[in-house]
Structure 1
Amino acid sequence: MNYFEYTELSASERLSVFMDSLSLTNRTPEYYVNWQKVIRETRKFELELNTLNYLIGKDNIYEETLRLFSQQPNLIKAVPSLIACRDKKFEVLSIDDFDNMEFYQIDFKHIDTSNIKKYVDFSDEAGLLDFLKNEAKLSLVDFVYGVETGLDSNGRKNRSGTTMEGLIERNVEKVATKLNLKHNPQASARWILDNWGIHVPVDKSERRFDEAVYDPEKNKLWLIETNYYGGGGSKLKAVAGEFTTLNDFISTAKDDVTFVWVTDGQGWHTAHLPLAEAFDHIDNIFNLEMLKQEFFLDLFK
Structure 2
Amino acid sequence: MELSKYISLSADERLNFFLSTLSITNRTPEYYVNWEKVERETKKFELELNTLNYLIGKMDIYHEALKLFEKQPDLLKAIPSLIASRDKILDILTIDENDNMSFEQLNFSTIDTTRIVDYVDFSEQAGLLDFLQNKANRSLVDYVYGVEAGLDSNARKNRSGSTMEGILERHVAKICQECNLEFKPQATAPYILDTWGITVPVDKSERRFDIAVYSKENNKLWLIETNYYGGGGSKLKAVAGEFTELSQFVRSSDDNVEFIWVTDGQGWKTAHLPLLEAFGHINKVFNLDMLRKDYLYQLFIE
Q: Same fold (TM over 0.5)?
A: yes
Question: What does residue 217 of structure 1 align with?
Answer: 217
Question: What does residue 297 of structure 2 align with?
Answer: 297
Aligned pair 1:106/2:106, yes or no? yes
Matching residue's letter, 2:205: S
Q: Give, in whole Å, the separation in 2 of the partners of 1:104 and 1:78.
A: 20
Q: Deviations over 1:191-214 (max 9, x none)?
A: 000110000011111100000000
Aligned pair 1:245/2:245, yes or no? yes
Aligned pair 1:92/2:92, yes or no? yes
Q: Deviations over 1:11-70 (max 9, x none)?
A: 111111100000000000000000000000000000100110010011100000000000
Aligned pair 1:194/2:214, yes or no? no
Matching residue's letter, 2:70: S
Question: What does residue 166 of structure 1 align with?
Answer: 166
Q: Deviations over 1:237-256 (max 9, x none)?
A: 00100000111111111100
Question: What does residue 55 of structure 1 align with?
Answer: 55
Q: Give, in whole Å, the separation in 2 of the partners of 1:139 and 1:164.
A: 37
Q: Deviations over 1:258-301 (max 9, x none)?
A: 00000000000100000000010001000000000000111001
How far the C-alpha of 1:97 sits from its partner, in A, is: 1.6
Matching residue's letter, 1:48: E
How far the C-alpha of 1:115 sits from its partner, in A, is: 1.7
Q: Give, in whole Å, the separation in 2 of the partners of 1:141 and 1:167.
A: 34
Q: Give, in whole Å, the separation in 1 of the partners of 2:270 and 2:95.
A: 44
Give the TM-score, by structure 2 length.
0.99
Give the TM-score, by structure 1 length.
0.99
The DSSP-based 3-state class of the residue aligned with 2:218 is coil
Question: What does residue 23 of structure 2 align with?
Answer: 23
Matching residue's letter, 1:183: F
Question: What does residue 178 of structure 1 align with?
Answer: 178
Question: What does residue 5 of structure 2 align with?
Answer: 5
Question: What does residue 144 of structure 1 align with?
Answer: 144
How far the C-alpha of 1:129 sits from its partner, in A, is: 0.4
Matching residue's letter, 1:138: R
Q: How many residues align?
A: 301
Question: What does residue 132 of structure 1 align with?
Answer: 132
Matching residue's letter, 2:147: V
Question: What does residue 39 of structure 1 align with?
Answer: 39
Q: Give, in whole Å, the separation in 1 of the partners of 2:111 and 2:250.
A: 52
Q: Give, in whole Å, the separation in 2 of the partners of 1:281 and 1:34.
A: 37
Question: What does residue 267 of structure 2 align with?
Answer: 267
Matching residue's letter, 1:23: S
How far the C-alpha of 1:7 sits from its partner, in A, is: 1.3
Runs of 4 or more, structure 1, over 6 Å off, are none
Q: Give, in whole Å, the separation in 2 of the partners of 1:259 and 1:18.
A: 17
How far the C-alpha of 1:95 sits from its partner, in A, is: 1.1
How far the C-alpha of 1:96 sits from its partner, in A, is: 1.3
How far the C-alpha of 1:178 sits from its partner, in A, is: 0.9
Matching residue's letter, 1:210: D
The DSSP-based 3-state class of the residue aligned with 2:40 is helix
User: Structure 1 regions of 5+ residues with no counterpart?
Assistant: none
Matching residue's letter, 1:54: Y
Matching residue's letter, 1:170: R
CA RMSD of superposed structures (Å)? 0.6
The DSSP-based 3-state class of the residue aligned with 1:263 is strand
Aligned pair 1:118/2:118, yes or no? yes
Question: What does residue 207 of structure 2 align with?
Answer: 207
Q: Give, in whole Å, the separation in 2 of the partners of 1:176 and 1:298.
A: 12
The DSSP-based 3-state class of the residue aligned with 2:99 is coil
User: Structure 2 regions of 5+ residues with no counterpart?
Assistant: none
Q: Give, in whole Å, the separation in 1 of the partners of 2:172 and 2:122.
A: 52
The DSSP-based 3-state class of the residue aligned with 1:177 is helix
How far the C-alpha of 1:2 sits from its partner, in A, is: 1.4
